[in-house]
């Protein structure tokens, strides 16, 4: 049996964040990845069989990091959906305390990820890291409003569990969980919000924006709150962040808002920190720095830091791989996102090379005491596989079934492009471009409405996340339809593979 690695307490981890340098975190990530691999190879029946099928018959020969990087990659298709759920878990059993979270999957068929108190504990520590860096006073009363969907999805429940765990750490936190019910959110703010010294809003970026925008008409004065915001589930631009800062009156642009990179697979995996926000903002004003950091200038990724005591990341050919412990452990798991990984020292050096003096600037901005030398992961998400609307993952497969319906087939080829757009007020909406059949006209508004209703109907049937949103904010999630001529070059250029999703 491989030796067990030391497990640190929350206090020890929070101290390490302030004292340990970049090399320590890199070494920990590699050491713990190797240890998890060896344990899984012995104790997880499915993984043992998977390795055997990939000609790894003796896991003890994997000794160093270079060896580890030769281990075959696992994903949903080649691993998770190939074995019974219990065989994917430690010791081949589900007979232990756990919580299940469901994901829709690209086909709409749910996959159920179990988790135990380890992921909740890790999430709590990462949330506490944010609270400390945000300047929250741990002795003052704090109201946390959880605006993530409260159901089989991970966001709402793990956020609730994380903040609830902080009770034991001495934080006088009060929780309320209205989910995506705006009336309940506004009622809570009006009736109990001002009874607390500090306020934390947690939710999907576009939904929280809606809450902030609609708050004015509901008698909410955001600038009267000492507010912090925890986002998750999707990326957003710095223009979006600036909008939120201005509308809420938050002045601390680097510390009061965080975006969590998390999944049902492995919980809270990484999060924005003041230094990651600083780095991202610096790169937006320096094209050469942006390209040096992110290997692209076409899109802006989420930039977050991760704790290798909990999870480790690799990037292979632009694909994000993660290794983390859970009831269902995952080793070199291709989560389906695209991006890259960098050590803290690498990022700091690139900033210096591009005339951004990190220590001087973080000191000037008053965030130097929040800087931890944890490694970074930057994420572009699933560029060609899905888009997101108010946190709900929209897969093209769900729209395909609608445009292949008998009614739609009379006028449409079945090709489409879907994307998430923002209007001038930064409101999110789903835009769908549809290709007409040759010599077919679709000028009437009634046809647009019919196709829109058809797509909405199929999304409601196939996508539980969309259905949940539709019951709460139906006008916000109604798709906007545009028809295009056959083989129009903008979205339907002939000769190439159809791009179903655009960013």
Span 78-96, average pLDDT: 96
Strand-pair category, 387-389 with 311-316: unpaired
User: Following CA atoms 431, 434, 440, 443 in sequence, which dihedral angle do they give, to the nearest 10 degrees?
Assistant: 0
pLDDT (tens digit per residue) in 6-19: 889 999 999 999 99
- The whole-number pLDDT of residue 28 equals 97
- The whole-number pLDDT of residue 410 equals 81
Q: Which of 467, 444, 443 is CA-nearest to residue 456?
A: 467
Phi-psi domain of 456 (left: phi exceeds 0; alpha: psi -120 through 50; beta: other)? alpha
pLDDT (tens digit per residue) in 259-295: 999 999 999 999 999 999 999 999 998 999 999 999 8
Say which residue, 498 or 384, is predicted with more confidence.
498
DSSP letters for 68-103:
HTTSPPB-TTTTGGGS-GGGGSGGG---SS-EEEEE
Q: Which residues contact 444 (CB under 8 A, 6 or more apart)?
A: none
Q: How many CB atoms lie within 10 A of CB 209?
A: 23
Question: For residue 501, what are its two tokens?
Answer: 């999703």
- The whole-number pLDDT of residue 257 equals 98
pLDDT (tens digit per residue) in 332-381: 999 989 999 999 999 999 999 999 999 999 999 999 999 999 999 999 86
Question: Token match 């994901």: residue?
Answer: 103
Q: 259 and 232 in contact (C-beta within 8 Å)?
A: yes
CA dist 315 to 31, 62, 115, 232, Å?
Answer: 17, 19, 25, 21
- The whole-number pLDDT of residue 492 equals 87
Say which residue, 166 or 443, is predicted with more confidence.
166
Lowest mean pLDDT among 65-79, 332-346, 450-464: 450-464
Question: For residue 25, what are its two tokens?
Answer: 């975190």
Q: Which of 277, 275, 375 is CA-nearest to residue 322?
A: 375
Q: Model-level pTM? A: 0.84
**Sign of the Cα pseudo-torsion (445, 447, 453, 458, in order):** negative
Question: For residue 247, what are its two tokens?
Answer: 């509308």
Residue 39 has pLDDT above 90, yes or no: yes
Whole-number Å distance between alpha carbons of 33 and 43:
15
Percent of the chain past pLDDT 70, that is, above it, reads 96
Say which residue, 352 or 422, is predicted with more confidence.
352
| Cβ density class 451-472: b for 16+ within 10 Å, e for less | bbebbbebbbebbbbbebbbeb
Q: Which of 445, 440, 435, 441 is CA-nearest to residue 403?
A: 435
- Give the chain's largest Cα–Cα span: 70
Whole-number Å distance between alpha carbons of 215 and 184:
12
Say which residue, 439 or 245, is predicted with more confidence.
245
Give the distance, in angstroms, between the CA of residue 19 and the centroid of all CA atoms in the same chain: 28
pLDDT (tens digit per residue) in 143-163: 999 999 888 889 999 999 999
DSSP letters for 110-127:
-EEEEE-HHHHHHHHHHH
Whole-number Å distance between alpha carbons of 496 and 490:
12
Residue 167 DSSP symbol: G
Residue 212 backbone phi and psi in degrees, to 5: -65, -45
SS3 223: helix
Question: For residue 469, what are its two tokens?
Answer: 């949103």
End-to-end Cα, the chain, rounded Å: 47
SS3 191: helix
- The whole-number pLDDT of residue 343 equals 98
β partners of residue 480: 431
Say which residue, 423 or 330, is predicted with more confidence.
330
Our CA angle for 295, 23, 69, nearest 5°, is 60
- The whole-number pLDDT of residue 382 equals 64
Lowest mean pLDDT among 214-223, 465-474, 487-496: 487-496
Phi-psi domain of 44 (left: phi exceeds 0; alpha: psi -120 through 50; beta: other)? beta
Question: For residue 83, what are its two tokens?
Answer: 């074995």
Whole-number Å distance between alpha carbons of 23 and 199:
36
Whole-number Å distance between alpha carbons of 370 and 401:
49
* Model confidence band, residue 183 (pLDDT cutoffs 50, 70, 90): very high
């Amino acid at each position: 049996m491989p030796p067990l690695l030391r497990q640190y307490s929350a206090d020890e981890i929070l101290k390490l964040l302030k004292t340990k340098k970049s090399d320590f975190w890199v070494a920990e990530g590699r050491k713990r990845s190797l240890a998890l691999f060896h344990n899984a190879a012995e104790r997880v029946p499915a993984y043992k069989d998977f390795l055997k099928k990939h000609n790894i018959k003796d896991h003890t020969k994997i000794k160093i990091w270079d060896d580890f990087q030769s281990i075959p990659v696992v994903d949903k298709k080649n691993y998770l959906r190939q074995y019974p759920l219990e065989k994917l878990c430690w010791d081949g059993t589900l007979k232990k305390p756990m919580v299940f979270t469901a994901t829709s999957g690209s086909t709409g068929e749910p996959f159920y990820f179990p988790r135990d108190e380890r992921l909740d504990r890790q999430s709590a520590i990462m949330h506490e890291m944010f609270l400390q860096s945000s300047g929250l006073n741990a002795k003052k009363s704090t109201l946390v409003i959880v605006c993530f969907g409260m159901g089989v999805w991970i966001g709402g429940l793990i956020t609730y569990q994380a903040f609830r765990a902080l009770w034991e750490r001495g934080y006088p936190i009060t929780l309320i969980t209205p989910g995506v019910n705006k009336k309940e959110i506004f009622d809570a703010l009006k009736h109990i919000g001002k009874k607390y010294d500090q306020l934390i809003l947690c939710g999907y970026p576009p939904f929280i924006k809606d809450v902030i925008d609609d708050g004015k008409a509901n008698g909410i004065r955001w600038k009267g709150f000492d507010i912090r915001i925890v986002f998750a589930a999707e990326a957003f631009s710095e223009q979006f962040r600036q909008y939120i800062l201005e509308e809420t009156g938050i002045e601390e642009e680097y510390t009061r808002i965080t975006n969590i990179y998390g999944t049902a697979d492995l919980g809270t995996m990484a999060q924005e920190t003041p230094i990651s926000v600083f780095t991202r903002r610096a790169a937006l004003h320096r094209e050469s720095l942006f390209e040096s950091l992110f290997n692209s200038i076409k899109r802006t990724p989420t930039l977050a830091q991760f704790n290798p005591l909990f999870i480790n990341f690799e990037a292979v050919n632009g694909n994000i791989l993660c290794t983390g412990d859970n009831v269902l452990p995952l080793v070199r798991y291709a989560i389906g996102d695209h991006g890259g990984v960098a050590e803290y020292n690498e990022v700091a050096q690139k900033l210096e090379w591009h005339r951004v003096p990190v220590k001087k600037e973080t000191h000037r901005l008053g965030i130097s005491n929040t800087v931890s030398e944890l490694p970074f992961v930057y994420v572009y998400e699933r560029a060609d596989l899905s888009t997101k609307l108010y946190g709900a993952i929209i897969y093209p497969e769900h729209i395909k079934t609608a445009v292949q319906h008998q009614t739609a087939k009379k006028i449409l080829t079945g090709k489409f492009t879907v994307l998430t757009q923002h209007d001038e007020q930064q409101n999110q909406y789903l835009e769908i471009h549809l290709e007409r059949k040759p010599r077919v006209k679709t000028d009437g508004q009634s046809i647009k409405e019919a196709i829109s209703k058809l797509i909405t109907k199929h999304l409601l049937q196939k996508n539980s996340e969309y259905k949940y949103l539709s019951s709460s904010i139906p006008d916000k999630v109604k798709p906007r339809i545009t028809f295009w001529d056959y083989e129009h070059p903008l979205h339907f250029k002939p000769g190439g593979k159809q791009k179903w999703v655009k960013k």
